[in-house]
Amino acid sequence: MDKIKFSHEEENPLEIVRTLVLEMLKEGDWEQFPRSSEMFSNKVEFIGNASVARNKFLVLVHEVLWELIIQRIITPGSNLANPDLPFFRVTDYGQQVLAGGEFIPHDPTSYLEKFNQTIGVPDPVAFEYLKESLRCFNSGCYLAATMMLGISSERIFLALCDVLFNSLSNATERKSFSKILDGISMLAKFEFVRKKIELLMSKKGNNFPKIQLTNLLGIFEFIRVQRNDIGHPQDNLQVPARDDVYVNLRIFPQYCKTVEEVKKYLNANKV
């Protein structure tokens, strides 16, 4: 693996350092706040004013580690013999996060890069709401993160509705779905799409993509219900738990990928 080049004039230094820190935590054998940049010498090449770059890099490593303490991915103390800082250990939740694979919400830069690689060119509005959801999640604002992700999910679903409408060949279906689309009921839109997709999946020889219906409609409905539960003022508001929002952000890319596969088919075929 090529070394990361890090300059004292780096434009997005914190994002670079955060990604590297998470990668190194995955590798294990790291349990102390570093006092120098020496431990990163096999992964980072300091360029420009190397001395300034090293100092800047080390400060940012400490900043990221403190972020991860606040997010409870790591906790002070490595063991009973070393119970305090500068020692630390990865928490049980942290182990879950680090083993999470590609889409790690705690690393928004890599998450969004992989999202773009997976989806291609995402809807710009949905993408902005997704970015805001990640920002809220990493700030511990789980209520806001759920709202933002729900809006992003809805935007993507409505785009699917538009493509489906344009692909309908039956005049009666088009008239019926047009009336539904003009209405405010998201449930009616959901039911029409669900029935049509299930019908397409049941037909043989139409080359409809082999998808899991749960990845398409199940995830959307799950996020939609959560968003609706918190989207109105109420006395007994249930704030989403961190783990619930984490899971939603982890499965969201698969939902978007499945939508894109279905849209591609609908754009090329009348149904």
DSSP 169: -
Residue type, 223: I
Q: Exposed, middle or buried by CB within 10 Å (0-12, 13-18, 19+), for 188?
A: middle
Predicted local distance difference test score (pLDDT) of residue 227: 66
Question: What pLDDT is attached to residue 55?
Answer: 93
Report the pLDDT value the prediction gives residue 232, as an integer from 0 to 100: 65
pLDDT, residue 229, reads 65
pTM above 0.85, yes or no: no
pLDDT of the residue at 202: 85
Q: What is the pLDDT of residue 200?
A: 87
**Spans of the chain, pLDDT less than 50:** none
**Which pLDDT score is estimated for 101?**
76
Question: What are 9's two structure tokens?
Answer: 């004039």
Q: How far apart are CA 58 and CA 38, in angstroms?
A: 10
What are residue 76's DSSP bridge partners? 88
Cα(106)–Cα(18) distance, integer angstroms: 9
Q: What is the dihedral of CA 145, 197, 122, 129, to 10 degrees?
A: -20
